[in-house]
Amino acid sequence: MGKTIIVVDDFRNTRSIVVNSLEKEGFTVFEAADGLEGLKLFDGKEIDLLVTDLNMPNLDGLELAAEIKTIPQYRFIPILILSTETSKEKKQKAKEIGVTGWVQKPFQLNRFMMFINKVLR
C-alpha cells in the first residue's frame, strides 16, 4: 500500500505543485489551505508524512506541528516545513517541537522529492 501525505499551504500554486508531484510518484495526498483545515485531516486515518508551510492564517505550521505531536496516533510522524522563512529562532523552535526537516522556498522539485523519499524510507 502507498504512503499517505498531508500537504498544508495557504498559497494554492505551491500546494498544487507539491500535491501534483507527490501524486505522480504514487502517494495518496490530502490537502488543506491552512493549519486548522490541515488539523481536521488528522482524523484517525493512517498518515505517513505532513508537509506544511510555516506562515499561514488561523494556525501556522509550527502550531500545527505542535498540535499533531499531542495526538498519540500521530506523535511520531515526520513533519516537513516548506517556507521562505530563514529565522534561526523559528528553525530552533521547529526542532524543539520535533519537526523532521525544513525546505527553503523556492525549492528544486527533484531535491524536494529526494528528501520526501528519504524521509519515508
We report the CATH number of the domain holding residue 10 as 3.40.50.2300
Whether 46 is in a domain gets the answer yes
Whether 68 is in a domain gets the answer yes
DSSP code at position 32: E
Whether 42 is in a domain gets the answer yes
Whether 12 is in a domain gets the answer yes
User: Once rounded to an integer, what is the mean pLDDT over residues 21-49?
Assistant: 97
Grid cell of 89 as nine digits: 529562532
- The span from the first CA to the last CA of the chain, in angstroms, equals 14
Whether 59 is in a domain gets the answer yes
Helix (H, G, I), strand (E, B) or coil at 29: strand
* Residue range of the domain that includes 72: 4-110
CA gap 66, 80 in Å, rounded? 13
pLDDT of residue 1: 57
**Count of structural domains within the chain:** 1
Q: What is the pLDDT of residues 43-70, one digit of tens each?
A: 999 999 999 999 999 999 999 999 999 9
Whether 116 is in a domain gets the answer no
Write down the pTM of the prediction. Answer: 0.95
